[in-house]
Amino acid sequence: MDPRRTALITGPTAGIGAAFARALAASGHDVVLVARDGGRLTALADSLATAHGVGTEVIVADLSQPDGLAAVAARLADRDRPIDVLVNNAGFGVKSSFGRSDVEDEQRMLTVLVTAVMRLTHAAIPPMLERGSGSVINVSSVAGWITGGTYSAAKAWVTVFSESLSAEFAGSGVRVTAACPGFVHTEFHERADMDMSSVPTWMWLEADAVARQALGDSERGRALSVTGLQYKAFSALLRHAPRVIVRRVGAARSTSGRFARR
């Protein structure tokens, strides 16, 4: 009998992260859950263990802080307790425009969305390469294809980083995928006090659909995962459009809402 596989998910207490945790547990993965809220982590761990009979582990950590990031990286690098799937999903949003925001908030967002993704992936990859198997899914955003301040720039980094690693490790048994959703029904926007009322109904996705698509695309070895026909079309257009048009889309975005800042 094959040993049970283990997945580590950051930011799993709600939204896309919770959807990944449910899907991976349902497929028989033990789960390591990482977030700041110990109470919500424990409740999720208990519910997954009860529903699916999987092993659970909770790591209370703030990925914007060096000690929290180091603790999670150490768990990923532990060869005696291998991680087969890493989902870098932890999110961070800044409501204000760049000219009005607090620079420390901007820095924390970059730490969570960029530095943490890089360091946790760097910790996970060597043991995966040694075993000749493993998957990393980095939750990016279609916002990475437009001009939308620090957030879009961070997600652009995540997407290109993931594509680069996917090519680098081709044939090794290690797969790296960037999941690029658009607007997703989660509690994130409410918690960040973002008014999303102007976003049309047809632009919203469900978190479970995003997780299913990303896990399936990862299994198929795809570097990019985009959920929904509307976003597949939108992403293809933006990736090939002249930059002047992309900048106009980014400017229009600033008056109509933010792309899935989760």
What is the set of active-site residues?
Answer: 151
Based on the number of CB atoms within 10 Å of its own CB, is 25 exposed (0-12), middle (13-18) or buried (19 or more)?
Answer: buried
The CB density around residue 255, as the number of other CB atoms within 10 Å, is 7
Residue with tokens 């075993």: 131
208 near 22, Cβ under 8 Å?
A: yes
Structural element, H or E, at residue 204: strand 204-206
Tokens representing residue 161 in the block: 């980083």
Q: Report the candidate in 31, 19, 32 with the shortest Cα–Cα distance to residue 73.
A: 32
